[in-house]
Every structure is written in structure tokens, then in C-alpha cells.
Structure 1
Amino acid sequence: MKWAVLLGSPDISGGTYVIFEHVIRAKRRGIIVYMITEHPISENSLDWHPEARELNWTTFSQCQDMNFDIAFATWWRTVYELYRVKAKSYAYFVQSIESKFYPEQEQALRKLVDATYMLPLKIITEAHWIQEYLKSEYDKESYLVLNGIRKDIYYKEGAAHASRESGRLRVLVEGPLGVPFKNVEKTIQLCKQSDADEVWLLTSSPLTSYPGMDRVFSRVAIHQTPKVYRSCDVIVKLSYVEGMFGPPLEMFHCGGTSITYNVTGYDEYIRNEVNGIVINKDDEEQVICAINSLKNDRSRLDHLKEGASKTAKEWPDWSHSALEFEKAVAQIIQQNDNCTREILEKKSKFFFDFYMLAEKQKNMNGNKVSSIAKRFLDHRFPRIYKYLRNIKWKIKVMACRAN
């Protein structure tokens, strides 16, 4: 069997991590896996997950004459690239409802993202809430494969950067900076307002320090992250949009607990007051109160850690999850009722044309096209992008002349 997996970027992220864990195991079981990107990847881009070097890496231009049993889109943008790959079947690995990543004012872009769920693709997803959303909003059935955990890496006893101390509370904030829906900056502020003794930051953003942080760990390879988790008592992760986030589960395996918002996907494994604390979105006062309670009530902290350890013990590892993923792929291929490459190309371009019209109209009205849309258009459709820029320039010239 031969898979083509379309990847937007090999850079460090939770979504890319999940993809790697599935396909690395598929490759080790004898499946031929090609990771396809627009441009050749640099060797150091995989430093954070060295095992991904086992995979075959290629580009769209390099694989034009190759044939695959199945090709996967793994991000909304890669859906519109699927037709560039020759395959018997086409599928979509959905890890979140990605239109929620973008601001409300970017309506055209959000619709383009949502349109990916209307294409005739078989879908595999990682969380119950996504499966239910796709069914209720788009009448799309999907295969559900929950994410696993690296039990060979994440476990309670092991090396740490610092020992946990009775009577002291060390808090961990995790996530990239500058991403609004991850809400990391606000999380840091709230933690610093609490009674926590120390606040550490684990981030994929390239930095060596951050104001108010006692320690910062940047772009850490996966095998080194447990040392950070084992040093902290609780992870505070207040993101607004998630598929099924992994860091709290990793913290559970390393002997800690969590404080999160009631964000999408939290209920896959977090139980309020059983293994973690769940706060209503944007109830910032309660976040601070929760941190303070863990600082001042050791019995509550110990109870939640015990519940988290039980959850960790019962959670399946990646070997189990990857095998379930492979079974879902086999069923998709066997059904042989997917859309053809030609149909996929036509439908993809049809949806994209509507997006272009919307962006053109917005541009005609004098609004700026989003930087995200600009990069996408310039990268994938340079002629159209140039055409739109010429229109905008002509409008400006006409306006100047009118004045």
C-alpha cells in the first residue's frame, strides 16, 4: 500500500505531531508513505521530531509521475492541493474545524475553509465533537480515531529540570505566542496574578526569555518535553479552539494535572474536579482562583493528580491509535466510492472561484485582503494575485485623479 500525505509545513506543532505519529508507525508496518510539501524541507526542520526523518519526503513537482493508493489532505489548504496528486482514493484528516482559527471579519476565508467539508472526500477525525459537528452541519459521516500517547516518553518517574516541592506550586503555560486562539499571552498574565510560586513557559515560538517567566523552554524536541512536565504541578492551557489537545494528557502521564477552559475537545479525557479543573471560557477570575486553590489546598492538588494518573493509565498508546487509523484507511480504499481526481479538481476550483469573487469585491470596496489570503494567493495562484493587485492599483489611481 502506498500513501501520499500532504503537509502544509513540517514545523513544530500539535497537529503535525499527530500526523507524524500515525504515519511513522504505518511506515514501520510496511506501508510506503510519502510526505508531500510544496517546497523541499530543510533537514533541521525535523529536529523537534527526529523519527520523521524515516519518512519519504518529496514535493508536488517531484511526484507528478507517481501513483498512490490514497492521498490525504491534513489541513484545509492541502485539500485544495489534493488533485495535484494521482491516487485511487482521496481522504481528509480533520483535526479541528479550522475556520474557527480565523477572525470573524475574515468571512470569505472562513467560508473557503468550511467548503472543504463539502467536497466528496472520506474523512477521518480525532475527536467526538468534530465527528458530531461534521454530521450536524454538513451531513458528513467520518471515521473516529482518538489520538494516542507516547508512553515510552511520557511517564511519571524520570528526569526533570527541577524537583516538585511540597507547599510550592509550579505552573506550566504551553503554546505558541502571537496566535490569538491559543491565548498564551493572556494565560501568562493570569498565572502571574496568582499565588503560584513559579510560572514556566513551554513554547514553539523562537525565544529565550519572556517577561515575568521564571523559565522558558523554546522549540523543545519531543523526547525532552517530559523533563519540563515532570518539573511542574499543573499545566494551565486556556486556548479557545482545539481538536483534541495533547499537552494536558502529556502532563497527566508525567504526574501533573490541568486547568483549562471548557474548550472544544476537553471532554475527551478531562473531567472537572476528577483529574483537572475546567473553567468557563474567559472567566479569568476563576482561573486565578483555581490556581490559588491548588497552591493553598494540597489535598485538592493531590486528588486531581491521582485522577490524572488514573486517566493516563487507561489511555491507549500511539501503537493502538495508529493501527485504528490504518484500519480506517483500508476501509476507505476498499469502498472505492471516492471522487475522481478530475471531479475533485473541478469542485475545488468551483469553491475557490467563489472565494476569489468575495475577495475581489472586498478589494473593490477598498478593504484590505487578509495577509493570510495574500500569502495563499501569491503562493498558489500568482497570476490571479497579480491581477487583483493591478485592480487595486487602478482603483487607487482613479481615486487620486478624481481628487
Structure 2
Amino acid sequence: MDDIRTLGKKTIKTLKEGGVFQVAKKSVEYIKVENIRRKYNGRVYKDVLFINGCDYNSLPHPPRYRIQHQMEQLRANGIECDEANWVELDLNAVRNYRLFIIFRCQYDEKIEKFIRLAHSLNKRVVYDIDDLVIDTKYTDEIKYLNTFDKQQKKDYDLGVMNMQRVLKMCDAAITTTERLAEELKKYNANVFINRNVASEKMYELSEKAYEKRVNQKQKKEKFAIGYFSGSITHNDDFELVLPVISKLMRKYPKLELHIVGLLDIPNELKCFQTRIIAHKFVNWQELPDLIAAVDVNLVPLQNNIFNEAKSENKWVEAALVRVPTVASNVGALKRMIKHEETGLLCNDKKEWYEALVTLIENEEIGKRIGENAYSFCKKNCLTLYTGMPLVRIVKKLFTPNIAFVLPALNISGGVMVALEHCVMLKKAGYDVTIINTDIDNSEWCKFHGVRLPVIASRKYTITGSLDKVVATMWFTVRFLEGNCNIKERYYLVQGFEPDMYEPGSPFRLEANEMYSPKSEVRFVTISKWCEKWLQEKYDKKARYIRNGMHVKDYWPIKRDFSGKVRILIEGDCGVAYKNVDESFQITNQLDKNKYEICYMSYNAEPKDWYDVDEFYHKVPFEEVGDIYRSCHILLKTSTLESFSYPPLEMMATGGFVVAIPNGGNKEILTNEKNCLLYHQGDILEGVNAIKRICSDEDLRNKLYEEGLKTAKERDWNNIRNDVLEAYGCKER
């Protein structure tokens, strides 16, 4: 309640001086300054991002407890986190964290977009609130709001209802007390309690304040009771004990009243003004010294729903300097304080009077209670010792995540397979991230209409927890070995990678080394051939997943061979094992009056001696099917493939395939059944295979039907469950 009233007081002052525009201007300017000081590092991957809906000027107390202290709890237990202010929140930050905790944010379009984007990525968003400012049915009971004019009250009510709106949009809520949790469940069924606790810095300052008090101890002539209100608007609470304080001041000339905050001295006490020590609102770092200067801490609270929902902060702060607390027997104070052991609880004025008389007349009782409260709070109310309950909450709210480490974002065959797996896992409810080891700094990758977040490993510091990480090429395995925050490591093997390099290349040895990784890695492969040599050569048992395709994207058409026949050559001529030169050695032998030669490559361009009629370069993925349909025969001469996609895609469109057999295409290509195979290096045999397809209609009919059948068997929809099971996942 202090924060509401303090904010209200400052807001009214600014409204009077400069109007609504000036309020908005000052708020934004201040928050921008704060954001520069507190802004999260955008190039990170961590576990939790706290999004602060308050500023540290108008409302310093709540965000300190609910953001900084909770971050300290998490960091003390290995959960990496950051803070960002909602004013300058970057929507792309949704890529960088597993969970988002929004503190007291009001609704606006950006917050809604952020939450929707997080949900689209299967990430969860939590609302943190420490007061009943989520419905006007509660706030209408705050007497202080009666001082607002009509427009101020309307604006305030809108803010309250806008907080409720965000609360309802979130997956869960975290709050401070049982009564507050009970009320929040009316708006969000998934509510967790993480009590307010003191930070390590508060503990340090409190120890120093107590030590100073002990060292300065002289013969006691005065007995000080303290009321740390923070705001004049605590009059309703202070009125509970005002008659008691007045009576005690008359009875005990040695009694002093210390007031800290904006509380004006009530008229009933002005006759004791010489024994009243008043301090204005102070920085929290100064508060332990002021509390340590008194003998008793007063926490009077009216018995209403707001106070039942309030936390026990004032008791904890006093306990850390060993000062006993006398408090109303309400809410969290009632729950946390053991009467006559760690504090004194009062139900009426009579009990307040008796409790204070006891402490004034027998200081040893107060000392015992203060020491007991200190012993309890230093073990049960500090961030260092209380983080595990919050850690359990956070881990429960984490969506299981899986990251794929890609060598690049270019749509090559191997990358495409990994992206297919990413999309399937995302659709199954997993939090999926791409970690890109290339120099490309793209923040998103769109595949089949699905946006996947990308983290560039060269630019980002990745310290967040990762449930599963999948390496997709030999050098990406190093990411698995270099990160201790990974629970399960996978290596998606799509080919014998040492043979992708020329003899003498150091990469041959390094690639081979990755089949015997230093850390525990689970092997997955998309090829029976790879499964076989992994077992035979490296004693690695791999989980086999059939490779697939989206048949609907490669719908078939019957080819007309009455005119010129178009031959398609596909592959990067700069990569030796793609063996593209041999394809052109074959097509250069063909009659140019009867054949057109098309070449499709994502990276390399045709060599000078290639006879090419049409060159397709960096064709968008969604247009590849059209290229296949425009051609009659695919000539694919790769000598090394883990799984050869182009022949399967060509067959799906109703086209024909001439290829060299290799370990990766044996699963899908059968000579004379769905394709024609020829021996590597036999140029004439390759030429004759093309001519045979052109001249033999019966052969074409057979290859056409079997090719379509082969493609349909490999539809991704028939493989989905196999993919999930290979990574130990299931539909969520």
C-alpha cells in the first residue's frame, strides 16, 4: 500500500504542476534513464527475463523485492536471468529466454504482442503481483483514492483493470502471500507463492547497523519505539495504536517515538513533539540504521483484505537488526510470527498496550524476541537460503526446450532435414531454438511458414539451461562439448563427413573424431547406411529415423516427351563429392537439338565449360517443385549422400531419375524399378540411360508409378512420431 500512495502523491503533485502530459513525459524520461542502467544484454540466451512494469523512482520498494531479490534467489541456484523495463521492451527478446515474469505491467499493445509471440513459440509467461491492484472491487476500498478527482480516479481504475487484463493473459501468477494467492486464483487458476525475502545487501547492511548499535551502546535513558510507515496515508493503520501510543507517552517520560516516512505527526501527539524523532522518506540502504536505532518496531494494520494480502517485510527488516516487532495479528504477519517467540501479535488496543508495556519494562524480553526473530529470518528470509522454492516454480513452468545447432541457415539437404525436425517438435509443443554457428546474424528462420528463433553462437553468450541440444554437422558437436548447461546431447548424423573433404585436409581427422565425442552423446541418423557404419566402425548405436518430404509440395504432372527433353542437373559444383562435373560430361554428349540442359545450385555458379541452357541460382525453397516439374529427367551424380533428396523430389513430381548409386540413395532408388542407375565414371552408360527413358514409353510408365509410390511412403506426416521418439519427446 505504501507504493500506491507514494505514487499517488507524486503523481498528483506532477498533475497539478504540469498536467497529464507532464506526468507521462516524466515517467518515460525516468524509465529510459533507468533502462540504460538496468537494460538486459540483448545478445544472450538465458533462462528468465523479468519485465518490470514499475520505475524505481515512484515505486522503489516493489520492484526491488519482486525483481532484484527474486533474480538473486534464482542466480544463487544456477538460474540465469535478466531484467528489462516494459517501456523499451524489444519484442525480439522473446527469442533469448525460456520464461518471462511480468511484474505489475499494465496492458498495452506491445505487451499483448510480446505475450502472443511467446505463446506462439511455446514459451510461458508469468505475472508477478504483490498487491490487490488487479480489480477495482478491491481498490475502491482504499480511502486514499477519495482524494482523487474524477479524471484521476478514472485513470487509476483503468490502470488497475489493465493489470488484471495482463494477469489473465499469462499462463500463471507468482505472488507474496496466501491471501493474495487466494484472490488471484479468481483471475488466473495457476498461482504460486514466493514470499518476499531480504537480499544479501540488506543482510550486510543490517549486520553493520546492528554492530554500530552495539558499539555505540551507552547507559539507556530513552526507550524508542519506531513506526516505519513510508507514507502519510497510513493514518488508518496508525490510528489503531494512536491512543495506546498517547497513553504510553504520558506514562513513560523516557519513551520516544521514531517515525520514518511521510507520516505527519498526529494532533494527539503534538504535545510530545520533543520526544518524536521524524525522518523523511529515506533510501533503503539507510533504513537498517534507522530501525537499529529503536527498541521496538510497530506494525499496526487494519484487519481488511488489503492488509491480509500484505507481506511480512517490516518484521523481517526489523528482525535482521534484532529489533522485536509488535504487530497486528493479521495476514502474513499472523502466519510468519510466532507469538511471544519471534514477535508479539495483537488483536485489540488492550493487547497492544500490554505488549508494549511488557517490552518497555522488561527489555530482556524484547532482546530475546529480537534474537529469536533474527535467528529465524537469517536462515528462512534471505535470498541465499530461500531460492529453491522459486527455482522449482520456474522449472515447473519451463516448457521443455530443444535446440538444433546448424552449420548455416542456407536450405541445403542436411539443414532442411534439421528444420523439418524443428517444425515437428515445435508443433508438438516444444520450445525450439536454432543455434547458428555461421556468420549470418539472422534472428529468425522461416520454414514452411513456421518462424523459428535463431541465436548466433558467434555473437551470443549462451548460459541458459538447455534440455536437449542436437548437433547437425561434425563441427557443431563442439558446441555440445563446450556447454555444461545441456542435459541431453544428440548428434544427427546425415553422412560420412570425413569423406566430404579432399585427402590431406585436417578436417578429415577432426570430423572423424566427432564420432567418438568426449561427452555422452546420443546418435540419431536418417540413413540405414549411416546406422550401419556407425555401429561397425565406431561402436555407436544410432536411432534411425526415416527421412521424409512434403509430398503435397511436389504434386505430379505427366511429362510430354514429344518435344525437347529438359535435363536437370542439381548440386554444388564446388563440392567434390557432388561430382557435378560428371553430370556435364554426360550432357555435353547429348544432341542440343533434342535436349535442353538446366543447372540448379544454391551456392556455386556454372564452370566455363558447362553447356547450360538455363541456370537456377538460390531458388527459394517454395519454388523448387516448379523447377522439377519443368524438367523431364534429373541427372544426379553425387558419390556421397546420406540421403538424396533431389531424386525423391523429382519422382514425387512425376519426373524421372538417372543417378549413380551411393550409400545414401540405396534406401529410395532401385534400378529399373523407380529409376535408372549407372556406374560412376561410365559416361556412355549415363548417356544411354537418358536416351532409354526418352525412347521407352513402357519403362517411363513403370518408373512413373513406382516413383510416385516411393515418394508417398516418405511423406513427413507418416514419420512424425518417429522423429519425436528419436529425441525422447512426445506430444504436449
3-state SS of paired residue (1:213): coil
Note the alpha carbon deviations across 1:61-99, whole angstroms, 9 max, x for none.
535221011111110001112133321111100000100
CA contact (8 A) 1:21 1:322 kept: no
Residues in 2 aligned to 1:208 and 1:172: alpha-carbon distance in whole angstroms: 13
Tell whether 2:576 aligns with 1:189: no
Partner of 2:456: 59
Q: Secondary structure at the match of 1:19?
A: helix
The alpha-carbon deviation at position 207 of structure 1 amounts to 4.6
Mark the structure with the bigger radius of gyration: 2
After alignment, is 169-178 or 56-65 more displaced? 56-65
Matched AA of 2:725: K
Structure 1 position 122 matched with structure 2 position 522: yes
Distance 1:178-1:206 versus aligned 2 partners, 3 A rule: closer
Partner residue, 2:470: 72
Change (3 A) 1:244 1:238: same
TM-superposed CA distance for 1:316, in Å, is 3.0
Tell me which residue corresponds to 1:308.
707
Structure with higher RCO (Cα < 8 A, 6+ apart) = 1
Task: Tell me the SS of whatever aligns to 2:598.
Answer: strand
User: How many angstroms does 1:206 deviate by?
Assistant: 5.7
Scaled by the length of structure 2, the TM-score of the pair is 0.42
CA contact (8 A) 1:24 1:52 kept: no
Q: Are the aligned partners of 2:423 and 2:450 in contact in 1 as well (CA < 8 Å)?
A: no
Per the alignment, residue 146 of structure 1 pairs with 546
2:498 matched to which residue of 1?
Answer: 99
C-alpha distance in 2 between matches for 1:57 and 1:143: 26
For structure 2, the residue ranges without an aligned partner over 5 or more in a row are 1-399
Query: CA separation of 1:157/1:294 partners in 2, compared to 1, >3 Å: closer, same or farther?
Result: closer
Matching residue of 1:179: 575
SS at match of 1:105: coil
Aligned positions of 1:3-402 closer than 5 A: 3-38=402-437, 41-43=440-442, 50-51=447-448, 54-60=451-457, 62-85=460-483, 86-106=485-505, 108-119=506-517, 120-157=520-557, 164-166=560-562, 168-195=564-591, 197-205=595-603, 207=605, 211-313=610-712, 315-330=713-728
Q: Is the 8 A contact 2:582 2:681 kept in 1?
A: no
Aligned residues between the structures: 324
Separation (CA, whole Å) in 2 of partners of 1:298 and 1:51: 36
Q: How far off its partner does 1:105 sit?
A: 2.4
Q: Deviations over 1:202-246 (max 9, x none)?
A: 111265997421211111112111111112221110001000110
TM-score, normalization by structure 1 = 0.75
Match of 1:372 in 2: none
Report the Cα offset of residue 304 of structure 1.
1.7
- Deviation track 1:30-64 (CA, whole Å, cap 9, x = no partner) reads 11011112467355995xx6447611111335352
In 2, Cα distance between equivalents of 1:258 and 1:13 = 20
Q: Supply the AA of the counterpart residue of 1:186.
A: E
8 Å CA contact 2:403, 2:434 repeated in 1: yes
Q: Deviations over 1:267-297 (max 9, x none)?
A: 1111100110111222222111111222233
Residues 1:69 and 1:45: Cα distance change in structure 2 (over 3 Å): closer
Deviation at 1:110, TM superposition (A): 1.3
1:265 to partner: Cα distance: 1.7
Q: Which moved more, 1:36-45 or 1:247-256?
A: 36-45
Which residue of 2 is the match for residue 400 of structure 1?
none
Root-mean-square deviation (CA), in Å? 2.5
TM-superposed deviation, 1:24: 1.3
CA contact (8 A) 1:191 1:291 kept: no
Shift of 1:29: 1.8
Amino acid of the structure 2 residue aligned with 1:213: V
| Aligned mates of 2:556, 2:539 — CA distance in 1 | 42
Distance 2:557 2:724 in 1: 32
Is the 1:33–1:55 contact (alpha carbons within 8 Å) kept by the matching residues of 2? yes
1:285, 1:40 → 2: CA distance? 43
Percent identity over paired residues: 27
CA contact (8 A) 1:235 1:256 kept: yes
- Range moving further from structure 2, 212-221 or 246-255: 212-221
What is the CA–CA distance in structure 1 between the aligned matches of 2:440 and 2:728, rounded to whole Å?
29
Per-residue Cα deviation, 1:138-162 (whole angstroms, up to 9, x for no partner): 111010001111122111049xxxx
Q: Structure 2 CA distance, aligned partners of 1:44 and 1:242?
A: 30
Cα distance, 1:40–1:312 mapped onto 2, change above 3 Å: same
Do 1:171 and 1:198's aligned partners in 2 also have CA atoms closer than 8 Å? yes
Separation in 1, partners of 2:443, 2:615: 21
